[in-house]
Amino acid sequence: MGMVQRGSYMDYVAVEEDLLAVIPESLSFEEAGAAPTVALTAWQALFEHGRLQPGQRILVQAGAGGVEHAAVQLAKQYGAYVIATARDYTLLSLLINREQRL
């Protein structure tokens, strides 16, 4: 699997070796392809568009969702104070338990 600037919907592309990642055996091609999309979307929102800085407070709506969950993890890792919402306690508790393990 690899990341390219153009042609990512092509059947075949040529890329530099350092842009490739090994797909773990526990993931399907579809799962492995989705993970970077989710993380990159969160990264772009937080750091490229939002210009998040360490110590800033950030509110993540629907923090248990795919992109939002990645945003919570990235922002926390970067040193931001993260506040997240979820539609019900079960989803929120999953998010809290996940963050306590980081």
Give domain limits for the chain. 53-102
Q: Model confidence at 49, in pLDDT bands (50, 70, 90)? A: very high
- Token pair of 39 as six digits: 């993380």
Better pLDDT: 37 or 71: 71
Kindly report the pTM of this predicted structure. 0.68
**Tokens 């508790």 label which residue?**
93
Cα 16 from Cα 26, distance rounded (Å): 25
Highest mean pLDDT among 37-46, 51-60, 89-98 belongs to 51-60
Taking alpha carbons only, the member of 47, 93, 48 closest to residue 74 is 47
Instruction: Tell me the average pLDDT of the chain.
Output: 83
Sign of CA dihedral 7, 31, 39, 2: negative
* pLDDT for position 71: 94
**Dihedral sign of CA atoms 23, 3, 72, 76 in order:** positive
